[in-house]
Structures are given as structure tokens and as C-alpha cells.
């Protein structure tokens, strides 16, 4: 499985950022790119969607086009991993967590505690949750794959209905959109409860 590498570096306030909005089966997304890679991917109705002020709207940026094409393929079940270069801005710890998310295979879920252990902070589940919640590249940095230790959905910046749909796309069934909903395990999908 190929996932892009998350490179840790600070934001450059003088850099040129381009963006475009694309349709997806779960609603429109805004893709943002620097010269080095994809800087962000948010659903356009997300609370954390940054203002596009100062960004250049374009449909000809090669990074944005690659991200659009790969997302289209992913939603069409023709792709399980991403190759678009990434350039998110965050702290060294956030980058460590985002890289650990990219290391999760398609359909594989992890709890905040498991992710904390993967990044060498076994007691840092809450800090990991904060880094996951600040992920600026939805789907490609797969924060939707992080669930509660009891398999509950927990939260998602794009909303629980989208998280449930993303998980279902990867083969993980949740029958409710409640944050406390538990994953339906293999062999239990047809049970009446």
C-alpha cells in the first residue's frame, strides 16, 4: 500500500498557495496546494475550513489535479492508497501522528491509544487526539480510521455521517451515526441487535 510521506516543516508566509473545489460523493471538498505538495483537503462545510483569502483559484495546478484524480479513483474503489505529495503545516508531533495515520492500511482501524503507542507516547492518547483533530488533509491522511478503544466512532471534523460512510467504504460497518456507535464485527452484521 502506498501512502505519501508527511514532511515536517514550518509554514512559509510568503509562499503561493493554489486551490480548487471538487465534487465528491460525500460533498464538495476544497483542495489546497503549495509548490511542494497538497497542503489541505477539507469538506467545504467543515468548521475548520480556512479562508481562501490570498490563495489563487486554479484548475491547472498539477498537484491539485493529481489529488482530484486520486480521490476520484479512491471513491470509485479503484485505489486504496495515495501518491500525491503532501505538504501539511503543523508541529513536529502533529507530523509524527499524521505519518502514523498514513501508515494505516486501507480498512485498518486504530484507537487513539494504539496510535499513541505507535508514535512512542503510550500515555498520550489525548495529545494524539488533538493532532488527529487538526489533520488538514482529510481522507488522504486517513484520520477517519481512528476510533475509540471500544470501537466507537468518536468524532470527525467532516461530521459523523461522513466518517461512517468513509469507514463503510473501507469495509467497516457502523449501524448508527452516534459518536458512541460500535463497529459491527465480522459475522455480526446480520444479528438482530
Give the residue numbers annotated as catalytic, written as ranges: 143
Q: Which three cell numbers stand for residue 22?
A: 471538487
User: Can you tell me which residue has the cell 460500535?
Assistant: 182
- Count of CB atoms situated within 10 Å of the CB of 173: 13
Which residues pair with residue 147 across a beta bridge? 111
User: Maximum distance among all alpha carbons in the chain?
Assistant: 58
Contact 101, 146 (CB under 8 A): yes
Please choose, from the candidates 141, 142, 86, 130, the residue with its C-alpha nearest in 3D space to the C-alpha of residue 121: 130
Going edge to edge, which strands form the sheet with 29-33?
38-43, 29-33, 18-22, 56-57
Is residue 29 within 8 A of residue 138, CB to CB? The reply is yes
Alpha carbon of 108 to those of 87, 94, 101: distances in Å? 24, 20, 10
Amino acid at each position: 500500500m502506498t501512502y505519501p510521506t508527511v514532511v515536517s516543516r514550518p509554514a512559509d508566509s510568503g509562499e503561493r498557495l493554489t486551490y480548487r473545489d471538487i465534487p465528491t460523493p460525500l460533498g464538495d471538498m476544497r483542495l489546497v496546494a503549495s509548490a511542494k505538495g497538497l497542503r489541505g483537503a477539507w469538506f467545504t462545510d467543515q468548521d475548520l475550513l480556512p479562508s481562501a483569502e490570498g490563495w489563487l483559484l486554479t484548475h491547472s495546478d498539477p498537484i491539485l489535479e493529481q489529488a482530484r484524480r486520486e480521490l476520484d479513483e479512491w471513491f470509485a474503489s479503484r485505489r486504496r492508497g495515495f501518491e500525491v505529495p503532501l505538504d501539511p503545516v503543523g508541529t513536529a508531533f502533529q507530523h509524527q501522528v499524521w505519518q502514523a495515520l498514513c501508515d494505516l492500511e486501507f480498512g485498518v482501524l486504530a484507537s487513539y491509544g494504539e496510535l499513541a503507542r505507535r508514535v512512542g507516547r503510550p500515555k498520550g492518547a489525548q495529545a494524539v487526539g488533538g493532532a488527529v483533530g487538526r489533520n488538514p488533509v482529510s481522507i488522504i491522511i486517513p484520520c477517519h480510521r481512528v476510533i475509540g478503544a471500544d470501537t466507537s466512532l468518536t468524532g470527525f471534523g467532516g461530521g459523523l455521517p461522513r466518517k461512517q460512510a468513509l469507514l463503510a467504504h473501507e469495509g467497516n460497518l457502523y449501524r448508527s451515526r452516534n459518536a458512541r456507535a460500535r463497529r459491527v464485527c465480522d459475522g455480526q452484521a446480520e444479528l438482530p441487535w
